[in-house]
A = this chain, B = another copy of it.
Amino acid sequence: MLYDFSEKVASCLDSKEISKFIISEAMRLIKADNISVMLLNNDSDAFEVITHSGKETYSQDIMRLQEGVAVSVMDAGKAKIINNIKSDSNYASKIDDLISVMFAPLKVKDRSIGVVKLGSRSQLEYAAEDLKIFAALASQAAVAIENARLYENLKDAFITTVHTLAETIEKRDPYTGGHTRRVTDYCLAIGRMIGLSDTDIHRLELAAVLHDIGKIGIRDNVLLKDGRLTDEEFEEIKKHTIYGEEILDHIKHFKNVITGVKYHHERYDGRGYPDGVKGEDIDITARIIAIADTFDAMTTDRPYRKGLSLEAAFEELKRCSGTQFDPELVNAFLKAFENKPV
């Protein structure tokens, strides 16, 4: 049993999924009405219920009281049974409506990262054997959860870093947020609307974040010019798509992201740049970014003009649907906005 379990939990790098799995296994093996997985948040020093069975919501009061018990189990580092919590003066009827409960620490090496609680609303006699199974499940889950958290943290650090550096580059100024973030949000809204897979959503997000990275290669006097660009200067600006490719070419992880960045100024009718690629030959992430990028450019103020209203920008997207933009993706964008303003 445990062997099978450990293989299943270990093959997943999502702490919520792992917690759900431990709950269903415990429910299968031990009689219980309620199981919850609580992790200690190192930043806030408080417990968070990351998954629990049943429909209970956890009030602040219950959480506070549970924490006392959870802390003591974590500190002791040992699972425990309390078969009649009402008669135990330490807990006296304080923990929701459960009567018989078991707690097991989520231990990784010598450190506890949280607690699992399991309990029944009617009085039961949990035995040493139940506790042993429960503790073993918790022990396996702890390691899997910890690995998943390390992975999640690194993933988060990665994406935040790419975001920050890309926005820094774009702004050529201390971080202010703005265009990149909005373009990314619009892109993700379109991507979700058309049902892209998780992998493609990740690829789209990176391409959206990095779409203007090549602007680092454009000199201030062109990039930051206040007035209208000469033809020559515009040719210079166009190169940011190719510079983007050159930069990302050095990062293996971004191999699949390059076409999204390089082709975000291609047009559906083939009259875009840098290569004049056409229609569905343009990578779908690039076609999505083209819409999001133009929409954001239209709706925000620039030094030399006010931004359009949302309605006027929608009309403009519709007008250019089929020539500049992929019509299906324009529709998806309009629909995403209708459903829930991005």
Contact = CB atoms under 8 A, between A and B. Distances in A.
Given A11-B143, A108-B11, A150-B13, A247 B164 contact: yes
B146 A11 contact: yes
A154 B165 contact: no
B139 A175 contact: no
A301 B168 CA distance: 28
Interface string A66-90: 0000000000000000000000000
A228 interface: no
A321 interface: no
Interface stretch (A49-57, A211-219, A283-291, A326-334): A211-219
A115 interface: no
Contacts of A247: 164-165, 168, 174-175
A250 B139 contact: no
Interface string A174-187: 11000000000000
Contacts of A172: 216-217
Nearest to A9: B10
A236 to B, nearest CB: 13
Interface in A125-183: 136, 139-140, 143-144, 146-147, 150-151, 153-158, 160-162, 164-166, 168-169, 172-175
Interface stretch (A33-41, A251-259, A311-319): A251-259
Interface string A246-279: 1110111110000000000000000000000000
A150 B140 CA distance: 20
Interface size bucket, A side? 35 or more
A294 interface: no
Given A147-B13, A174-B246, A247-B168, A140 B6 contact: yes
Interface string A12-29: 010000000000000000
Q: Classify the interface of chain A: helix, strand, loop or mixed.
A: helix
A238 to B, nearest CB: 15
A203 to B, nearest CB: 13
Given A3-B6, A220-B220, 16 more contacts: A3-B136, A6-B6, A6-B140, A10-B10, A10-B140, A153-B253, A156-B252, A160-B252, A165-B166, A165-B213, A165-B247, A168-B216, A168-B247, A173-B217, A174-B243, A174-B247
Nearest 7 A/B pairs, CB to CB: A157-B253, A220-B220, A6-B6, A10-B143, A174-B246, A165-B165, A158-B158
